[in-house]
């Protein structure tokens, strides 16, 4: 971005204290991560960003937003007073979005939204200047930051949009007014806060609340909860999935160790993605639908999907320190995602004499249903397929109880949350070069520490 401070003040319907000449080239709320000519946005969270104004100035800020009435204003420094700094940042993002005027693709879902975002951006980047959400900047802070980071030449903005409460996606949708909305699927993520999948589906559908009249709603047609709710949408609709009722559906797919291949009903084109599993084929079909919306051909889309780069810690294969292959999927977890990954992992060919070893940590934010949902993973654990299981965390005790009749003691290992070091030592002593290992847990269980020790 490139905006004079006076233009920013006008966009926020307020005035500047001090010099109005600075030209702003970036916006940041972390005082440690500013570039030269930055506008600092002090947000209030666990810490008050206003307390870090001196650090922001030292790191390149040339102006700051400031909450009206907040003490300790910086002296002789350009400042724009606003009622609420977060709301002002969101308003500035809306102004900048309208100024650049790219097409907006908004993507949400209980699982797969980050991978789908990466796939969609790869597909569209062949023809268009595309800017996408980095990492998982997908909330009321991350979405406006993503907008403000885009270049003025951006033609399509691909936004991951997350939520953990009702109303959040309604607000984000009002901010970005998407041209295309994508819902990957409905699972149990955040069910602690919603109580049922029906309510999760209602909250996910909020992404369509400000879908443009000439826009398109693309969703997983194999999810009845979405099909029911989509009936109320008057805009163009497309579905993806594995049913012949879906607009784009897979006729066949095969999953290998490092990639999956499939064909769809839309052409004879063969698609290949550098990820495994039926759920990632589903994500790829969502990206195909978006590509079609923007006029991409199947051969162009296939070329883009074949070598896209997924965000880190999502079903990435890594090489362990004794030569074992490790499936790194430690970014997050919920029952739907864990079952999908266990199924995919069970289909991966093992080197001769090797074993499949699953390391599973607690899935968080499942509320009163947590014990039952952890135990439900038992359906995807067969000792003839996944030969050894390591379970970590208090909730995984429920899964241990559910599968200890199937697994002999030497192949089933449980560790309380304060015994990570013991689990790591046991794993390192157990794993051989011809084994394959998967790691899956909610981010808060910190299996990244286990991965680091195994690499």
Which pLDDT does position 191 carry in this prediction?
64
pTM: 0.84
Q: Is 393 annotated as a binding residue?
A: no
**Topology of the domain comprising 316-454:** 3.90.190
- Residue 111 among known ligand-binding residues: yes
User: Over the stretch 418-443, which tens digit does the pLDDT of each residue have?
Assistant: 999 999 999 999 999 999 999 999 99
What pLDDT, on a 0 to 100 scale, did the predictor assign at position 168? Answer: 96
Cβ(248)–Cβ(182) under 8 Å?
Answer: no
Contacts of 7 (CB under 8 A, 6+ apart): none
Q: What is the pLDDT of residues 327-337, one digit of tens each?
A: 998 888 889 88
Token pair of 11 as six digits: 């966009």
Mean pLDDT of 75-81: 94
Name the CATH superfamily housing domain 102-305: Mur-like, catalytic domain (3.40.1190.10)
Q: Decide if 88 contacts 29 (C-beta within 8 A).
A: no
64 labelled binding-site residue: no
Q: Tokens in use for 256?
A: 């290998």
State whether CATH 3.40.1390.10 applies to domain 3-82: yes
In sequence order, which ranges of 150-209 are alpha helices (DSSP H)? 168-176, 191-194, 197-205
- Is 113 part of any known ligand binding site? yes
Q: Parse the chain into domains and list their residue ranges.
A: 3-82, 102-305, 316-454
Q: Flag whether 336 is marked binding.
A: no
Give pLDDT, residue 14: 95
Distance of CA 405 to the CA centre of its chain: 36
DSSP code of residue 376: G
Is 370 annotated as belonging to a binding site?
Answer: no
Of the candidates 345, 326, 353, the residue with the CA atom closest to the CA atom of residue 453:
326
Is 114 a known ligand-binding residue?
yes
What is the rounded CA–CA span in Å between residue 249 and residue 257? 23
Checking if the pLDDT of 189 tops 80, the result is no
The answer to whether residue 131 scores a pLDDT higher than 70 is: yes
Measured between alpha carbons, how far is 217 from 235 in angstroms, rounded to an integer? 7
Residues near 152 by beta carbon (within 8 Å), at least 6 away in sequence: 1, 2, 99, 100
């Amino acid at each position: 971005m490139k905006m004079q401070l006076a233009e920013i003040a006008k966009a926020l319907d307020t005035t500047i204290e001090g010099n109005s000449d600075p030209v702003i080239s970036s916006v940041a709320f972390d005082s440690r991560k500013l570039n030269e000519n930055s506008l600092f946005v002090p947000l209030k969270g666990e810490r008050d960003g206003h307390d870090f104004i001196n650090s922001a100035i030292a790191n390149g800020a040339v102006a700051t937003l400031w909450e009206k009435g907040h003490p300790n204003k910086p002296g002789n420094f350009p400042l724009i007073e606003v009622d609420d700094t977060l709301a002002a940042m969101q308003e500035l993002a809306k102004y900048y979005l309208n100024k650049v005027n790219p097409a907006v693709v908004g993507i949400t879902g209980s699982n797969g939204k980050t991978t789908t975002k990466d796939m969609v951006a790869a597909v569209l980047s062949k023809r268009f200047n595309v800017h996408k959400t980095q990492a998982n900047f997908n909330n009321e802070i991350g979405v406006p930051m993503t907008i403000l980071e885009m270049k003025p030449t951006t033609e399509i903005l691909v936004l991951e949009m997350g939520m953990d409460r009702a109303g959040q996606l309604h607000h984000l949708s009002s901010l970005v007014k998407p041209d295309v909305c994508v819902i990957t699927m409905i699972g149990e993520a955040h069910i602690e806060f919603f109580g049922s999948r029906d309510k999760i589906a209602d909250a996910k559908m909020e992404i369509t609340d400000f879908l443009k009249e000439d826009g398109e709603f693309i969703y997983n047609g194999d999810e009845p909860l979405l099909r029911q709710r989509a009936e109320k949408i008057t805009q163009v609709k497309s579905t993806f999935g594995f049913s012949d009722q879906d607009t784009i559906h897979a006729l066949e797919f095969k999953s290998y160790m490092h990639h999956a291949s499939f064909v769809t009903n839309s052409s004879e084109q063969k698609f290949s993605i550098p990820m495994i599993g039926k759920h990632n084929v589903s994500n790829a079909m969502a990206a195909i639908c978006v590509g079609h919306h923007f006029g991409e051909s199947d051969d162009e889309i296939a070329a883009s999907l074949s070598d896209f780069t997924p965000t880190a810690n999502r079903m990435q294969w890594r090489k362990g320190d004794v030569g074992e292959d490790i499936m790194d999927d430690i970014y997050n977890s919920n029952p739907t995602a864990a079952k999908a990954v266990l199924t995919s992992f069970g289909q991966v060919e093992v080197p001769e004499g090797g074993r499949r070893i699953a390391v599973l940590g607690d899935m968080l934010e499942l509320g009163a249903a947590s014990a039952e949902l952890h135990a439900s993973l038992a359906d995807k654990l067969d000792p003839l397929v996944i030969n050894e299981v390591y379970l970590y965390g208090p909730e995984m005790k429920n899964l241990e109880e559910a599968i200890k009749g199937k697994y002999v003691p030497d192949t089933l290992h449980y560790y309380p949350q304060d015994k990570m070091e013991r689990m790591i030592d046991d794993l390192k002593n157990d794993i051989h070069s011809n084994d394959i290992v998967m790691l899956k847990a909610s981010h808060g269980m910190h299996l990244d520490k286990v991965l680091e020790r195994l690499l």
